[in-house]
Amino acid sequence: MTTETTETIEDTRTTGSVETTETRPAAVEVHGVHKWYGAHQVLNGVELTVQPGEVTVILGPSGSGKSTLLRVINHLEKPEVGYVSVNGEPIGVRRQGARLKELSERAILGQRGRIGFVFQNFNLFPHLTALDNVAAAPVATGKLTKPQAQGLARELLGRVGLADKVGAYPRRLSGGQQQRVAIARALALRPGVILFDEPTSALDPELVGEVLAVIKDLAGSGTTLIIVTHEIGFAREVADQVVFLDEGRIVEQGPPTEVLDHPEHERTRDFLSKVL
Protein backbone atom coordinates (compact mmCIF):
# COMPACT_ATOMS: atom_id res chain seq x y z
CA MET A 1 0.00 0.00 0.00
CA THR A 2 2.10 2.89 -1.28
CA THR A 3 1.15 6.28 -2.56
CA GLU A 4 2.10 6.59 -6.23
CA THR A 5 3.39 9.88 -7.58
CA THR A 6 4.85 11.10 -10.81
CA GLU A 7 7.16 13.52 -9.04
CA THR A 8 10.72 13.61 -10.35
CA ILE A 9 13.50 15.77 -9.00
CA GLU A 10 16.75 16.48 -10.81
CA ASP A 11 19.22 17.38 -8.08
CA THR A 12 21.89 19.52 -9.68
CA ARG A 13 23.71 20.93 -6.70
CA THR A 14 25.98 23.12 -8.76
CA THR A 15 23.16 25.03 -10.44
CA GLY A 16 20.38 24.65 -7.89
CA SER A 17 17.92 23.89 -10.69
CA VAL A 18 14.99 21.63 -10.10
CA GLU A 19 12.62 19.99 -12.52
CA THR A 20 9.35 18.78 -11.12
CA THR A 21 6.06 17.50 -12.38
CA GLU A 22 2.82 17.68 -10.49
CA THR A 23 2.06 14.86 -8.13
CA ARG A 24 -0.62 12.56 -9.44
CA PRO A 25 -3.99 13.60 -7.98
CA ALA A 26 -4.86 11.36 -5.06
CA ALA A 27 -7.93 9.32 -4.22
CA VAL A 28 -9.18 9.89 -0.67
CA GLU A 29 -11.41 7.48 1.24
CA VAL A 30 -12.91 8.01 4.68
CA HIS A 31 -13.84 4.66 6.20
CA GLY A 32 -16.53 4.74 8.91
CA VAL A 33 -14.90 7.49 10.98
CA HIS A 34 -16.15 8.30 14.47
CA LYS A 35 -14.60 11.06 16.57
CA TRP A 36 -15.41 12.22 20.10
CA TYR A 37 -14.26 15.18 22.18
CA GLY A 38 -14.99 13.91 25.64
CA ALA A 39 -18.66 12.94 25.71
CA HIS A 40 -19.45 14.92 22.58
CA GLN A 41 -19.47 12.95 19.33
CA VAL A 42 -18.22 15.19 16.52
CA LEU A 43 -18.13 12.65 13.66
CA ASN A 44 -20.57 9.78 13.48
CA GLY A 45 -19.73 7.05 11.00
CA VAL A 46 -18.56 9.25 8.12
CA GLU A 47 -18.05 7.39 4.82
CA LEU A 48 -16.71 9.46 1.94
CA THR A 49 -14.90 8.79 -1.33
CA VAL A 50 -13.13 11.48 -3.34
CA GLN A 51 -11.88 10.39 -6.74
CA PRO A 52 -8.49 11.53 -8.10
CA GLY A 53 -8.72 15.05 -9.49
CA GLU A 54 -12.18 15.60 -8.01
CA VAL A 55 -13.23 18.78 -6.23
CA THR A 56 -15.37 18.06 -3.18
CA VAL A 57 -17.00 20.92 -1.27
CA ILE A 58 -18.19 20.26 2.28
CA LEU A 59 -21.04 22.40 3.57
CA GLY A 60 -22.79 22.45 6.91
CA PRO A 61 -23.66 24.59 9.92
CA SER A 62 -21.12 25.58 12.55
CA GLY A 63 -20.28 22.66 14.79
CA SER A 64 -21.29 20.02 12.24
CA GLY A 65 -17.80 18.45 12.17
CA LYS A 66 -16.50 19.91 8.90
CA SER A 67 -13.13 21.13 10.17
CA THR A 68 -12.67 18.04 12.31
CA LEU A 69 -13.20 15.86 9.25
CA LEU A 70 -10.41 17.69 7.41
CA ARG A 71 -8.09 17.32 10.40
CA VAL A 72 -8.87 13.60 10.57
CA ILE A 73 -7.99 13.21 6.89
CA ASN A 74 -4.39 14.28 7.50
CA HIS A 75 -4.33 12.80 11.03
CA LEU A 76 -4.06 16.07 12.91
CA GLU A 77 -6.96 14.49 14.80
CA LYS A 78 -7.00 10.76 15.50
CA PRO A 79 -10.39 9.05 15.02
CA GLU A 80 -11.50 6.64 17.73
CA VAL A 81 -13.12 4.39 15.12
CA GLY A 82 -12.39 4.07 11.42
CA TYR A 83 -9.54 5.44 9.33
CA VAL A 84 -8.66 7.43 6.23
CA SER A 85 -6.71 6.23 3.22
CA VAL A 86 -5.01 8.18 0.43
CA ASN A 87 -4.41 6.18 -2.74
CA GLY A 88 -5.16 3.08 -0.68
CA GLU A 89 -2.57 3.85 2.02
CA PRO A 90 -3.99 4.25 5.55
CA ILE A 91 -3.04 7.61 7.04
CA GLY A 92 -1.56 7.60 10.52
CA VAL A 93 -2.03 3.89 11.06
CA ARG A 94 -1.02 0.49 9.68
CA ARG A 95 -2.93 -2.73 9.69
CA GLN A 96 -1.81 -5.31 12.23
CA GLY A 97 -4.05 -8.29 11.70
CA ALA A 98 -7.60 -7.08 12.24
CA ARG A 99 -6.45 -4.02 14.17
CA LEU A 100 -5.00 -0.63 13.29
CA LYS A 101 -1.78 0.45 14.99
CA GLU A 102 -0.68 4.07 15.23
CA LEU A 103 2.37 4.97 13.18
CA SER A 104 5.33 6.86 14.59
CA GLU A 105 5.11 10.65 14.50
CA ARG A 106 7.94 10.72 11.98
CA ALA A 107 6.04 8.40 9.64
CA ILE A 108 2.87 10.45 10.04
CA LEU A 109 4.76 13.65 9.22
CA GLY A 110 6.01 11.98 6.05
CA GLN A 111 2.44 11.14 5.06
CA ARG A 112 1.27 14.69 5.78
CA GLY A 113 3.80 15.91 3.25
CA ARG A 114 1.56 14.40 0.58
CA ILE A 115 -1.58 16.12 1.94
CA GLY A 116 -1.60 19.90 1.64
CA PHE A 117 -3.57 21.89 4.22
CA VAL A 118 -4.65 25.52 3.92
CA PHE A 119 -5.94 26.90 7.23
CA GLN A 120 -8.50 29.67 7.64
CA ASN A 121 -6.06 31.84 9.63
CA PHE A 122 -3.08 31.45 7.24
CA ASN A 123 -0.59 30.15 9.90
CA LEU A 124 2.41 31.74 8.17
CA PHE A 125 5.72 32.10 10.01
CA PRO A 126 5.81 35.83 10.88
CA HIS A 127 9.63 36.00 10.92
CA LEU A 128 9.99 34.59 7.39
CA THR A 129 9.43 36.29 4.05
CA ALA A 130 6.81 34.98 1.63
CA LEU A 131 9.62 33.26 -0.28
CA ASP A 132 10.99 31.52 2.80
CA ASN A 133 7.53 30.56 4.07
CA VAL A 134 6.96 28.66 0.84
CA ALA A 135 10.47 27.21 0.63
CA ALA A 136 10.69 26.04 4.25
CA ALA A 137 8.94 22.67 4.02
CA PRO A 138 10.79 21.24 0.97
CA VAL A 139 14.10 22.09 2.69
CA ALA A 140 13.01 20.77 6.12
CA THR A 141 11.90 17.46 4.63
CA GLY A 142 15.08 17.08 2.61
CA LYS A 143 13.24 17.01 -0.71
CA LEU A 144 15.07 20.01 -2.13
CA THR A 145 18.19 22.04 -1.48
CA LYS A 146 17.65 25.61 -0.36
CA PRO A 147 18.38 27.07 -3.83
CA GLN A 148 16.03 24.56 -5.42
CA ALA A 149 13.28 25.27 -2.87
CA GLN A 150 13.62 29.01 -3.37
CA GLY A 151 13.38 28.57 -7.13
CA LEU A 152 10.22 26.52 -6.68
CA ALA A 153 8.85 29.09 -4.21
CA ARG A 154 9.33 31.88 -6.77
CA GLU A 155 7.49 29.80 -9.36
CA LEU A 156 4.58 29.07 -7.01
CA LEU A 157 4.30 32.66 -5.76
CA GLY A 158 4.11 33.72 -9.38
CA ARG A 159 1.38 31.16 -9.93
CA VAL A 160 -0.75 32.74 -7.19
CA GLY A 161 -0.09 36.26 -8.43
CA LEU A 162 2.54 37.30 -5.87
CA ALA A 163 5.75 37.38 -7.90
CA ASP A 164 6.36 40.92 -6.63
CA LYS A 165 5.95 39.95 -2.95
CA VAL A 166 8.71 37.34 -2.53
CA GLY A 167 10.61 39.49 -0.03
CA ALA A 168 7.59 40.69 1.94
CA TYR A 169 6.91 39.58 5.51
CA PRO A 170 3.37 38.47 6.44
CA ARG A 171 2.68 41.65 8.42
CA ARG A 172 3.20 43.64 5.20
CA LEU A 173 0.67 41.56 3.26
CA SER A 174 -3.11 41.83 3.13
CA GLY A 175 -5.18 38.92 4.37
CA GLY A 176 -5.85 37.80 0.82
CA GLN A 177 -2.15 37.92 -0.02
CA GLN A 178 -1.28 35.95 3.11
CA GLN A 179 -3.79 33.28 2.16
CA ARG A 180 -2.33 33.08 -1.34
CA VAL A 181 1.12 32.59 0.20
CA ALA A 182 -0.40 29.81 2.31
CA ILE A 183 -1.78 28.16 -0.83
CA ALA A 184 1.65 28.38 -2.51
CA ARG A 185 3.16 26.83 0.63
CA ALA A 186 0.69 23.96 0.46
CA LEU A 187 1.69 23.35 -3.16
CA ALA A 188 5.42 23.34 -2.42
CA LEU A 189 5.53 19.66 -1.41
CA ARG A 190 3.57 18.63 -4.53
CA PRO A 191 0.73 17.05 -2.51
CA GLY A 192 -1.69 14.57 -4.04
CA VAL A 193 -4.61 16.31 -2.33
CA ILE A 194 -5.10 19.75 -0.79
CA LEU A 195 -7.50 20.41 2.09
CA PHE A 196 -8.97 23.90 2.53
CA ASP A 197 -10.56 24.80 5.87
CA GLU A 198 -12.83 27.79 5.20
CA PRO A 199 -10.02 29.60 3.34
CA THR A 200 -11.94 32.88 3.00
CA SER A 201 -13.64 33.11 6.40
CA ALA A 202 -10.94 35.33 7.94
CA LEU A 203 -10.87 37.74 4.98
CA ASP A 204 -12.55 41.07 4.41
CA PRO A 205 -15.27 40.69 1.75
CA GLU A 206 -13.31 42.57 -0.91
CA LEU A 207 -10.39 40.12 -0.58
CA VAL A 208 -12.42 36.92 -0.93
CA GLY A 209 -12.46 36.96 -4.72
CA GLU A 210 -8.69 36.94 -5.15
CA VAL A 211 -8.33 33.80 -3.04
CA LEU A 212 -11.26 32.01 -4.70
CA ALA A 213 -9.73 32.79 -8.09
CA VAL A 214 -6.55 30.94 -7.13
CA ILE A 215 -8.53 27.95 -5.85
CA LYS A 216 -10.57 27.91 -9.08
CA ASP A 217 -7.32 27.77 -11.02
CA LEU A 218 -6.22 24.77 -8.95
CA ALA A 219 -9.60 23.10 -9.50
CA GLY A 220 -9.19 23.54 -13.24
CA SER A 221 -5.70 22.00 -13.14
CA GLY A 222 -6.97 18.59 -12.01
CA THR A 223 -5.69 18.74 -8.42
CA THR A 224 -7.74 16.78 -5.87
CA LEU A 225 -9.32 19.35 -3.58
CA ILE A 226 -11.49 19.00 -0.47
CA ILE A 227 -12.87 22.39 0.53
CA VAL A 228 -14.87 23.42 3.58
CA THR A 229 -16.61 26.69 2.74
CA HIS A 230 -19.82 28.70 3.04
CA GLU A 231 -19.36 30.21 -0.44
CA ILE A 232 -22.32 28.58 -2.16
CA GLY A 233 -21.79 30.27 -5.52
CA PHE A 234 -18.19 29.11 -5.53
CA ALA A 235 -19.29 25.56 -4.68
CA ARG A 236 -21.78 25.58 -7.52
CA GLU A 237 -19.05 26.68 -9.95
CA VAL A 238 -16.14 24.40 -9.05
CA ALA A 239 -17.44 21.34 -7.18
CA ASP A 240 -17.73 17.90 -8.70
CA GLN A 241 -19.57 16.80 -5.57
CA VAL A 242 -21.11 18.66 -2.66
CA VAL A 243 -21.33 17.04 0.76
CA PHE A 244 -23.73 18.37 3.39
CA LEU A 245 -22.63 17.49 6.91
CA ASP A 246 -24.81 17.93 9.99
CA GLU A 247 -24.22 16.71 13.54
CA GLY A 248 -21.26 14.65 12.38
CA ARG A 249 -23.17 12.77 9.68
CA ILE A 250 -23.28 13.10 5.92
CA VAL A 251 -26.90 13.99 5.33
CA GLU A 252 -26.72 14.46 1.57
CA GLN A 253 -24.11 14.35 -1.18
CA GLY A 254 -24.04 14.53 -4.95
CA PRO A 255 -23.41 16.93 -7.85
CA PRO A 256 -24.01 20.60 -7.03
CA THR A 257 -26.98 20.72 -9.40
CA GLU A 258 -28.68 18.14 -7.19
CA VAL A 259 -27.61 19.08 -3.66
CA LEU A 260 -27.76 22.87 -4.12
CA ASP A 261 -30.65 23.18 -6.55
CA HIS A 262 -32.81 20.18 -5.65
CA PRO A 263 -31.88 19.03 -2.13
CA GLU A 264 -33.81 15.98 -0.99
CA HIS A 265 -33.30 16.28 2.76
CA GLU A 266 -35.24 18.81 4.82
CA ARG A 267 -32.15 19.68 6.88
CA THR A 268 -30.23 20.56 3.69
CA ARG A 269 -33.11 22.69 2.41
CA ASP A 270 -33.30 24.54 5.72
CA PHE A 271 -29.57 25.25 5.75
CA LEU A 272 -29.50 26.48 2.16
CA SER A 273 -32.50 28.74 2.73
CA LYS A 274 -30.50 30.57 5.37
CA VAL A 275 -27.24 30.99 3.43
CA LEU A 276 -28.45 31.63 -0.11
Domains in the chain: boundaries: 121-190
Residue 242's CB: how many other CB atoms inside 10 A?
A: 24
Q: Give me the pLDDT at residue 3, please.
A: 37
pTM of the predicted structure, to 2 decimals: 0.90
pLDDT digits (tens, 9 = 90+) for 128-156: 999 999 999 999 989 999 999 999 999 99
16 compared with 210, residue with greater pLDDT: 210
Residue 262's CB: how many other CB atoms inside 10 A?
A: 10
Average pLDDT taken over every residue of the chain: 91
Could you please report the per-residue DSSP string of 115-138? Answer: EEEE-TT----TTS-HHHHHHHHH
Q: Give me the pLDDT at residue 4, please.
A: 36
What are the CA-CA distances from residue 241 to residues 27, 31, 50, 82, 92 (Å)? Answer: 14, 18, 9, 22, 26
In the predicted model, is pLDDT for residue 244 greater than 60? yes
Strands of 224-228's sheet, edge to edge? 115-118, 193-197, 224-228, 55-59, 241-246, 249-254
Q: Give me the pLDDT at residue 97, please.
A: 86
In the predicted model, is pLDDT for residue 192 greater than 70? yes
Q: Give me the pLDDT at residue 71, please.
A: 97
pLDDT digits (tens, 9 = 90+) for 55-77: 999 999 999 999 999 999 999 99
For range 122-130, the mean pLDDT: 97
DSSP reduced 3-state for 112: helix
For range 165-183, the mean pLDDT: 97
pLDDT digits (tens, 9 = 90+) for 2-40: 333 333 333 333 333 444 445 689 999 999 999 999 999
Q: Using N-to-C axis directions, what is the helix angle for 130-140 and 146-159, rounded to 10°?
A: 130
**Confidence tier at 98 by pLDDT (50, 70, 90):** confident
